[in-house]
A and B are shown apart, each in its own frame.
Chain A
Amino acid sequence: MAKFMQPNRPVGIVGYGAYVPRYRLVSQEVSELWTDGNAVSPVREKSVPGLDEDVATMSIEAARNAMRRAVRSSARDESSLAANLGAVWVGSESHPYAVKPTSTIVAEAIGATPYTQAADWQFACKAGTEAMQAAIGFVGSGMTEYALAVGMDAAQGRPGDALEYTAGAGGAAYLLGPAEEALAVIDGSISFVSDTPDFWRRQYEKYPEHAGRFTGEPAYFHHISSATVGLLEAMQLKPADFAFAVFHQPNLKFPLSAGQQLGFHKDQLWPGILVNDIGNTYAGSSMIGLTAVLDQARPGDRILLTSFGSGAGSDSFCLTVTERVVEARKDPNVMTTADYVRRRTQIDYAQYTRLKGNYRLN
C-alpha cells in the first residue's frame, strides 16, 4: 500500500523561478568529435554555464525569481518574506564545495540570514524534489511560514561518454508557504525508493559512472511509474484529470514514453519537456519542467510532477493551480522559463572545453 503524504495544514507554491545559463552546445558537435558523426544524440542541444557560474550563483538567480513572484502572490514585500523564510535548501549533485554549504550562500544573497535553516540535499537527480517534500513538511507542520527548495545542477559528463551529449545546467527554485497565499496548492505527494545501482560517483572522482542500459527499465521507468501510479490510486485520480504532467527528463524519449505508458497524452507532456533545448539538468530537470508549465497554467488546472533520482527513487506530487498564478506572473523583470530557453548563445566544442575548465592555464 502506497504511503500517501499530506501535511496537517495546507501548503502550496507561493513563488517559483527558473534559471538556465546562456550558452548552448549542439550535440552534433560532440558526435562529430568523438564518433565522426556516427552517434545520434538523444537531445538537440544542451545548456552550458559561463566561467563565473556554478550551482550557488544559478540557485541565487532562480531563488530571486521565486521571491519576486512570491511578492505578487502573497502581497507581502520581499524583506517580510525573507524574514519569515525558515529554510533554504539546495538539492544538487554538483555543489561547488565538497565541504561548505551552498545553501548559506543562497540564504545570504536573498537576505534570509541569519535566523533560518540551511542545508544542501543530495539524491542524484531528485535532490531538489526531496527538498520540496521536506519543505512541505516544514511549512505544513507550522514550524516555519516559508521554506525555499531549489533543484539545480551544472552536470558533468566525461569527455566522449554518453553523458556528455546531455549533461546540461540549470534548475528551479520554489518558495513553499501557506496554501492561502499559494499560486498552486500541493494536494498530496508520494516518495518511492529502492537501492538500485544505476548511476554513481565516488568521493574525489570528477565524473560519474553509470550502468549503461540498466539505467532504463529497472531504474527510471520502474520508479517513475510506481510513484505515479501510487499517487493516482491514493488520490483516486486518472491521467485525464490533469492538465499537465511533468517527468524527469534525461533525454527526449524517456519522459515521453513513461508518460504515455502511464496513460498521459502528448499534449499534457510537451509543455513541461525542455530537455531537447537545455539538456538534462539533473536535480533541476523535472523542477524546471514544472516552472515551464506554471508559466502557462490556468487557475483550476491540475498538474502532476514526478522526479527520478538514480540510486534510486521518485517523488510524485499533485498540484492544483489557483487564481493567484495570474498576479504572480505579472512582474516584468522576472524572466519566464521560455525567456531563459530563448536567451541562447551557441558555442563550439573548443569554447565548451574552456567553459568547462578542461584547459589548464598553469
Chain B
Amino acid sequence: MEVARYWRTTQQRYRMEGEICPTCSGKIFPPRDVCPHCQHEAKTPFTFSGRGEIFSYSTIHNAPQGFEKFAPYTVALVRLTEGPLVTAQLTDVDEHDVYIGMPVEMVTRVLREDGERGLLVYGFKFRPAFGVSGSSSQAVAVDVRAPEHAQHEVMIAR
C-alpha cells in the first residue's frame, strides 16, 4: 500500500470533502480542481451532506485482495443530493434489502487493512438512511428465559 497516496485523499475519504465551482456553483466530487460543468478552475472546498440515493448496485462475492474478509458485500453507484455520482461500498444492510432509489447516508468505516501489521484505511461507505426500511432490520422477540437447570451466575464487575 502506498501510504502517501492514501494520506493525500484523507479529507475526501473521511468526510466527503469535494469542491464547489465559483463560476457555476456546480458541486464536484471527487475534487479535481476543474469544474466538469463549465471547465473553469474550481478549488473552493465544499463538504457534501453525505445524503443521496442508490442509482445502481452489485454484490461482490469474489473480493479483490485486501477486501476478502468483507465478502460478500454490495457496491453501489450513489447519486448524491448535491448532484455527483460516486461509487462506494454499502454497509449495515443485507444484500436482499437493497433497491434502486433507496435513500442512503454516508458513514466513515474501515475500507481495508494492509495485513495485521499494516495501516488501517478509513473512508466513506453508505448505509440505508435512518428511518428507511432495511435500516433497522428485524425486531425479533428474543426468548431470554434461563433454562431451569441453570446453576451459576456469571458476574464480573467491569
Stretch at the interface among B28-36, B53-61, B74-82, B146-154: B146-154
A344 at the interface (CB under 8 A from B): yes
Q: What CA separation (Å) do A162 and B158 show in the bound complex?
A: 11
Residues of chain B within 8 A of A213, CB atoms compared: 155
CB atoms of B109 and A52 under 8 A apart? yes
Identify which of residues 40-91 in chain B touch chain A, using a CB-to-CB cut-off of 8 Å.
Answer: 47, 68-70, 91
Q: Are B149 and A37 in contact (CB under 8 A)?
A: yes
CA of A165 to CA of B158, assembled, Å: 12
Q: A250-B158, A282-B158, A344-B136 given as contacts; is B122 within 8 A of A56 (CB)?
A: yes
User: Which residues on A sit within 8 Å (CB–CB) of B150?
Assistant: 31, 37-40
Which applies to chain A's interface (DSSP): helix, strand, loop or mixed? mixed
Interface residues of A in 146-184 (CB under 8 A from B): 162-163, 165-166
Residue numbers in B under 8 Å from A45 (CB-CB): 142, 144
Closest beta carbon of chain A to B14's beta carbon, Å? 4
A96–B116 Cα distance when bound, in Å, is 11
Residue A66 lies at the interface, judged by CB distance under 8 Å to chain B: no
Q: Place the interface of chain A in its size category.
A: 35 or more
Q: Classify chain B's interface size.
A: 35 or more
Report Cα–Cα, A357/B68, bound state, in Å. Answer: 12
Chain B nearest CB, measured from A161 CB (Å): 8
| Chain B proximity mask over A26-38: 1 for CB below 8 Å, otherwise 0 | 1110010000011
Which of B68, B107, B142, B152 touches A361 (beta carbons < 8 Å)? B68
B41 to chain A, nearest CB (A): 23
Encode A208-219 as 1/0 by CB contact (under 8 A) with B: 001011011001
Whether A315 is near chain B, meaning CB under 8 Å from some CB there, is no
The 16 listed contacts between A and B (C-beta, < 8 Å) are A31-B146, A38-B147, A39-B151, A42-B153, A51-B110, A57-B108, A57-B109, A61-B107, A162-B154, A215-B157, A216-B155, A216-B157, A253-B155, A254-B157, A339-B130, A345-B138
